[in-house]
Structure 1
Protein backbone atom coordinates (compact mmCIF):
# COMPACT_ATOMS: atom_id res chain seq x y z
CA UNK A 1 0.00 0.00 0.00
CA UNK A 2 2.93 2.33 0.68
CA UNK A 3 4.22 1.75 -2.83
CA UNK A 4 0.91 2.85 -4.36
CA UNK A 5 0.81 5.96 -2.17
CA UNK A 6 4.40 6.81 -3.11
CA UNK A 7 3.57 6.38 -6.81
CA UNK A 8 0.52 8.65 -6.52
CA UNK A 9 2.58 11.26 -4.67
CA UNK A 10 5.21 11.10 -7.43
CA UNK A 11 2.53 11.60 -10.10
CA UNK A 12 1.15 14.61 -8.25
CA UNK A 13 4.57 16.25 -8.27
CA UNK A 14 5.12 15.78 -12.04
CA UNK A 15 4.72 18.69 -14.40
CA UNK A 16 2.28 18.65 -17.32
CA UNK A 17 4.84 17.50 -19.88
CA UNK A 18 5.88 14.61 -17.63
CA UNK A 19 2.26 13.52 -17.16
CA UNK A 20 1.60 13.62 -20.90
CA UNK A 21 4.77 11.62 -21.56
CA UNK A 22 3.84 9.08 -18.92
CA UNK A 23 0.35 8.77 -20.41
CA UNK A 24 1.69 8.21 -23.92
CA UNK A 25 4.15 5.54 -22.77
CA UNK A 26 1.42 3.87 -20.71
CA UNK A 27 -0.97 3.73 -23.68
CA UNK A 28 1.79 2.54 -26.04
CA UNK A 29 2.56 -0.40 -23.76
CA UNK A 30 -1.15 -1.13 -23.14
CA UNK A 31 -1.95 -1.31 -26.86
CA UNK A 32 1.32 -2.94 -27.96
CA UNK A 33 -0.42 -6.17 -29.08
CA UNK A 34 -2.76 -4.17 -31.34
CA UNK A 35 0.13 -2.20 -32.81
CA UNK A 36 2.12 -5.37 -33.50
CA UNK A 37 -0.92 -7.05 -35.07
CA UNK A 38 -1.32 -4.05 -37.39
CA UNK A 39 2.37 -4.06 -38.30
CA UNK A 40 2.38 -7.81 -39.01
CA UNK A 41 -0.96 -7.51 -40.89
CA UNK A 42 -2.69 -10.21 -38.88
CA UNK A 43 -6.00 -11.70 -39.96
CA UNK A 44 -7.63 -11.13 -36.54
CA UNK A 45 -6.55 -7.51 -36.05
CA UNK A 46 -10.08 -6.38 -35.10
CA UNK A 47 -10.47 -9.10 -32.47
CA UNK A 48 -7.01 -8.42 -31.07
CA UNK A 49 -7.73 -4.69 -30.83
CA UNK A 50 -11.09 -5.28 -29.14
CA UNK A 51 -9.67 -7.78 -26.65
CA UNK A 52 -6.70 -5.53 -25.96
CA UNK A 53 -8.79 -3.12 -23.86
CA UNK A 54 -9.68 -5.52 -21.01
CA UNK A 55 -6.54 -7.65 -21.47
CA UNK A 56 -4.36 -4.80 -20.26
CA UNK A 57 -5.70 -5.32 -16.75
CA UNK A 58 -4.29 -8.86 -16.60
CA UNK A 59 -0.65 -9.60 -17.35
CA UNK A 60 -1.45 -13.18 -18.33
CA UNK A 61 -4.13 -12.14 -20.83
CA UNK A 62 -1.93 -9.30 -22.13
CA UNK A 63 1.00 -11.67 -22.81
CA UNK A 64 -1.35 -14.21 -24.44
CA UNK A 65 -2.70 -11.46 -26.69
CA UNK A 66 0.84 -10.34 -27.47
CA UNK A 67 1.75 -13.90 -28.50
CA UNK A 68 -1.37 -14.10 -30.67
CA UNK A 69 -0.52 -10.80 -32.36
CA UNK A 70 3.01 -11.93 -33.19
CA UNK A 71 2.31 -15.54 -34.21
CA UNK A 72 -1.13 -15.29 -35.85
CA UNK A 73 -1.85 -15.96 -39.50
CA UNK A 74 -1.30 -13.29 -42.10
CA UNK A 75 -4.31 -11.74 -43.76
CA UNK A 76 -5.47 -13.17 -47.06
CA UNK A 77 -4.62 -10.00 -48.96
CA UNK A 78 -0.97 -10.12 -47.95
CA UNK A 79 -0.75 -13.88 -48.53
CA UNK A 80 -2.14 -13.48 -52.07
CA UNK A 81 0.31 -10.65 -52.75
CA UNK A 82 3.25 -12.80 -51.62
CA UNK A 83 2.54 -15.56 -54.16
CA UNK A 84 4.80 -15.35 -57.15
CA UNK A 85 3.71 -15.86 -60.72
CA UNK A 86 4.87 -19.16 -62.20
CA UNK A 87 8.00 -18.99 -64.27
CA UNK A 88 7.32 -19.88 -67.90
CA UNK A 89 9.68 -22.20 -69.71
CA UNK A 90 11.69 -20.60 -72.43
CA UNK A 91 11.98 -22.76 -75.52
CA UNK A 92 15.29 -22.64 -77.33
Structure 2
Protein backbone atom coordinates (compact mmCIF):
# COMPACT_ATOMS: atom_id res chain seq x y z
CA UNK A 1 0.00 0.00 0.00
CA UNK A 2 2.76 2.44 0.88
CA UNK A 3 5.24 1.27 -1.74
CA UNK A 4 4.47 4.17 -4.10
CA UNK A 5 4.76 6.65 -1.26
CA UNK A 6 8.00 5.08 -0.05
CA UNK A 7 9.46 5.17 -3.56
CA UNK A 8 8.44 8.80 -4.03
CA UNK A 9 9.88 9.76 -0.65
CA UNK A 10 13.12 7.91 -1.41
CA UNK A 11 13.41 9.64 -4.80
CA UNK A 12 12.78 13.06 -3.24
CA UNK A 13 15.31 12.40 -0.49
CA UNK A 14 17.93 11.30 -3.00
CA UNK A 15 17.32 14.37 -5.18
CA UNK A 16 17.57 16.60 -2.11
CA UNK A 17 20.90 15.00 -1.11
CA UNK A 18 22.36 15.68 -4.54
CA UNK A 19 21.62 19.42 -4.36
CA UNK A 20 24.38 21.88 -3.55
CA UNK A 21 23.85 24.68 -1.06
CA UNK A 22 22.76 27.22 -3.71
CA UNK A 23 20.04 24.90 -5.00
CA UNK A 24 18.87 24.21 -1.45
CA UNK A 25 18.72 27.96 -0.77
CA UNK A 26 16.74 28.64 -3.98
CA UNK A 27 14.37 25.75 -3.22
CA UNK A 28 13.83 26.99 0.34
CA UNK A 29 13.17 30.58 -0.77
CA UNK A 30 10.76 29.40 -3.47
CA UNK A 31 8.94 27.19 -0.95
CA UNK A 32 8.59 30.05 1.55
CA UNK A 33 7.35 32.49 -1.10
CA UNK A 34 4.69 30.03 -2.24
CA UNK A 35 3.75 29.19 1.35
CA UNK A 36 3.34 32.85 2.34
CA UNK A 37 1.88 34.02 -0.99
CA UNK A 38 -1.45 34.99 0.64
CA UNK A 39 0.42 37.21 3.12
CA UNK A 40 2.46 38.76 0.30
CA UNK A 41 -0.71 39.46 -1.70
CA UNK A 42 -2.35 40.89 1.43
CA UNK A 43 0.59 43.26 1.80
CA UNK A 44 -0.46 44.92 -1.45
CA UNK A 45 -4.23 44.37 -1.55
CA UNK A 46 -5.59 43.92 1.97
CA UNK A 47 -3.35 45.66 4.49
CA UNK A 48 -6.14 45.98 7.01
CA UNK A 49 -6.20 42.18 7.51
CA UNK A 50 -2.51 41.49 6.88
CA UNK A 51 -1.79 40.34 10.44
CA UNK A 52 -4.74 37.98 10.53
CA UNK A 53 -3.89 36.53 7.11
CA UNK A 54 -0.23 36.08 8.10
CA UNK A 55 -1.10 34.26 11.33
CA UNK A 56 -3.69 32.06 9.58
CA UNK A 57 -1.19 31.36 6.80
CA UNK A 58 1.25 29.54 9.09
CA UNK A 59 -0.84 26.36 9.56
CA UNK A 60 -2.63 26.77 6.21
CA UNK A 61 0.04 24.85 4.30
CA UNK A 62 -1.53 21.66 5.69
CA UNK A 63 -4.74 22.32 3.74
CA UNK A 64 -4.85 23.58 0.16
CA UNK A 65 -8.49 24.58 0.62
CA UNK A 66 -7.59 26.92 3.48
CA UNK A 67 -4.54 28.22 1.59
CA UNK A 68 -6.67 29.11 -1.47
CA UNK A 69 -9.28 30.67 0.82
CA UNK A 70 -6.63 32.89 2.39
CA UNK A 71 -5.35 33.81 -1.06
CA UNK A 72 -8.87 34.84 -2.10
CA UNK A 73 -9.32 36.83 1.12
CA UNK A 74 -6.01 38.58 0.58
CA UNK A 75 -6.77 39.43 -3.04
CA UNK A 76 -10.29 40.80 -2.47
CA UNK A 77 -9.36 43.46 0.07
CA UNK A 78 -9.22 46.39 -2.31
CA UNK A 79 -12.33 45.28 -4.16
CA UNK A 80 -14.45 45.45 -1.03
CA UNK A 81 -12.91 48.77 -0.01
CA UNK A 82 -13.71 50.21 -3.46
CA UNK A 83 -17.26 48.88 -3.27
CA UNK A 84 -17.81 50.47 0.13
CA UNK A 85 -16.37 53.78 -1.07
CA UNK A 86 -18.64 53.83 -4.15
CA UNK A 87 -21.88 53.35 -2.21
CA UNK A 88 -23.68 56.65 -1.53
- TM exceeds 0.5? yes
Larger Rg: 1
Question: Number of residue pairs matched?
Answer: 78
More helix by share: 2
Structure 2 stretches lacking a partner, 5+ long: none
- For 2:14, which of 6, 9, 14 is the aligned residue? 9
**Secondary structure, aligned partner of 1:14:** coil
Pairwise CA RMSD: 2.1
Aligned pairs (5 A) from 1:1-92: 1=5, 2-72=7-77
In 2, the alpha carbon distance for the partners of 1:52 and 1:41 equals 14
TM-score by length of 1: 0.75
Question: In structure 2, what is the equivalent of residue 90 of structure 1?
Answer: none
Are 2:45 and 2:75, in contact at CA under 8 Å, matched by a contact in 1?
Answer: yes
C-alpha deviation, 1:39, in angstroms: 1.1
Off by >6 Å, runs of 4+ in structure 1: none
**Secondary structure, aligned partner of 2:48:** coil
